[in-house]
Amino acid sequence: MGYLAFLERMGQVNDLLNAKSILNWDALTKMPPGGAETRAKQLATLSVMARDLLVADDTRSLLDKAEPEIAAKPADCVEAVICRQVREAIDYHLRIPAELVRKRAELGSIGHEIWAHARAASDFSAYMPHLTKTVALNREMAEYIGYEGHPYDALMFRFEPGETVATLKPLFAKLRDGMLPLLRAIAQKDAPRIDFLERHYPADQQLAFGLKMAEKLGYDLNRGRLDLTVHPFEVSFTRNDVRITTRIVEDWMPGSLFGTLHEAGHALYEQFSDPAYVRTPLATDLIGLYAVSGVSFGAHESQSRLFENQVGRSRQFWELNFGAARDAFPDQLADVDAEAFWRGVNRVKPGFIRVEADELTYDFHIMLRVDIEAALTDGSLAVKDLPEAWNAKIKEYLGLDVPDDRRGVLQDVHWSSGQIGTFCNYTIGNVMAGQLFEAANKDAGVASGMAQAEYAPLREWMTTHVHQHGRRFSRDELLVKASGRTLDPAPYITHLTSKYSEIYGV
């Protein structure tokens, strides 16, 4: 009885976080601008309530009673894992003052409207006061969390446990060594045509086609929906209600299409988690206080990047699915074949916008952001100097001169919600995607399905090795079980080298 009572209390924490997620989804999709201030207080209240319920004396008493009850069970059983994770989360949150949690939640909730207006006006100065407060709160939080090497390590722990500034340096170095020669060689080659991607694609047709492709990959519309937003995201309110969003640009079709596939990959992680984990800590990020099943943000990102890029941008995918694209856009694609379409959507061109970057330059955008966030966290970079530092990094990494704040330092939504420490997850996700996709394709059923435009075997393989486990195993435990080794960038580099050598003849 003790363990069941404890588990019900954890279900109540999950309920609060799901309610918070619903309000946040509404704020980013449907809420009128005038609701921002009061919505911020509502979200802050729910965050503090969830945290207070988690660390309450009676919750800790329930945990104290549950632990002896399951002590005879194996150390790796679900019950033991849940108890350990809750104990770790309670210890973590007790180090951080509740008032700091409230301030951060409230500041993050009002930040989206401030950022959106500043971005629209391309005016960093309008956003700077809010960001200054956000950085200060995160630096304060890092000190309470604690760290051994760099204060940024404490902030990354919330999103990618175990990753540090020290561990990222060699990973980034291997990626640069693998990608820079290829990028330089490609720069000397003629680029594929993309004129057909810049024709007029009506918004409703883009939404319909993107959703059709997402369903083909396995997204269940009985438990999901697609909406429009400024910055695409996925959010789940348990595995039974998992929603995705996209952004439409009517003269650039790939943005919405691949954004939809990206968010659908996230959604698959949530929709196909083990039903037994609903309302438990294995479907709840108790450290970050999110209702999410992914064991880390990087693991979650592995699924979005895998279904967007390894599958959705593959030659094989468009050889089999281009007919559906032409049916959806007969006029726009009348003079295009599958080969030209595949080459076009994989064109390499260094650009300013991370979410629109090609696969080969994408990780340079991430390295830039990690460098900057680490400098903001240790105080070596002041917020007021951020645009200059950003623009210098873009010049260093991609050789571009940033024309304005909208296409520079104001392009990402993350800081507006108070998130600092999460950007490394995108590159971790890319590397994991390469590793998992390589392992999955060793399965004959997966390979056969891919060759016939049947994606259920791949989705089922991912469910068996990733989705169903929720937060039960660590990121590296998942990787070892699925691929036989911990994080390894070699398959990802091989994937990029093979694809772009073929497209560009290098």
Give the list of residues 6+ apart from residue 180 with CB closer than 8 angstroms, or none: none
Contact 389, 373 (CB under 8 A): no
Q: What backbone torsions phi and psi does residue 242 show, to the nearest 5 degrees?
A: -125, 115
So what's the pLDDT on residue 320? Answer: 98
Please state, for a pLDDT cut of 70, what percent of the chain lies above it: 100
Q: Tell me the CA distances in angstroms from 269 to 28, 197, 238, 389, 467, one per residue in order.
A: 21, 30, 11, 36, 5
Q: In the structure, what pLDDT confidence band is assigned to residue 417 with cuts at 50, 70 and 90? A: confident
Integer Cα distance of 108 and 288 in angstroms: 13
Query: Which uninterrupted H or E stretch holds 162?
Result: none
For the entire predicted model, the pTM comes to 0.93
Residues 220-252 pLDDT 10s: 999 999 999 988 899 999 999 999 999 999 999
Integer Cα distance of 309 and 264 in angstroms: 12
DSSP letter assigned to residue 490: H
Q: How many CB atoms lie within 10 A of CB 97?
A: 13
Residues 436-479 pLDDT 10s: 999 999 999 999 999 999 999 999 999 999 999 999 999 999 99
Specify the higher pLDDT residue, 125 or 106. 125
Known catalytic residue at 263: yes
So what's the pLDDT on residue 340? Answer: 98
So what's the pLDDT on residue 300? Answer: 97
Indicate which residue of 67, 113, 163, 263 is catalytic: 263
So what's the pLDDT on residue 41? Answer: 86
Integer Cα distance of 142 and 455 in angstroms: 42
State both tokens at 107: 């500041």
Contact 446, 461 (CB under 8 A): yes
Residue 141 has pLDDT above 90, yes or no: yes
Q: Which long-range contacts (CB under 8 A, 24 or more apart) does 274-278 make?
A: 274/468, 274/469, 274/470, 275/239, 277/470, 277/471, 277/472, 278/238, 278/239, 278/240
- Locus of tokens 């809750």: 86
So what's the pLDDT on residue 102? Answer: 79
Q: In the structure, what pLDDT confidence band is assigned to residue 13 with cuts at 50, 70 and 90? A: very high
Sign for the CA dihedral angle at 484, 485, 491, 492 comes to positive
Q: Which of 122, 158, 471 is nearest to 294 (CA)?
A: 471
Residues 146-197 pLDDT 10s: 999 999 999 999 999 999 999 999 999 999 999 999 999 999 999 999 999 9
Residues 78-115 pLDDT 10s: 999 999 999 999 999 999 998 888 788 788 878 888 99
So what's the pLDDT on residue 356? Answer: 82
Beta bridge partners of 227: 245
Integer Cα distance of 329 and 201 in angstroms: 8
Strands 224-228 and 242-246, bridge-based pairing: parallel
b or e along 394-412 (b: 16 or more beta carbons within 10 Å of the residue's beta carbon)? Answer: beebbeeebeebbbbbbbb
Reduce the DSSP state of residue 285 to 3 states and report it.
Answer: strand
HSE on the CB side for 315, CA within 13 Å?
Answer: 10
Beta bridge partners of 228: 246
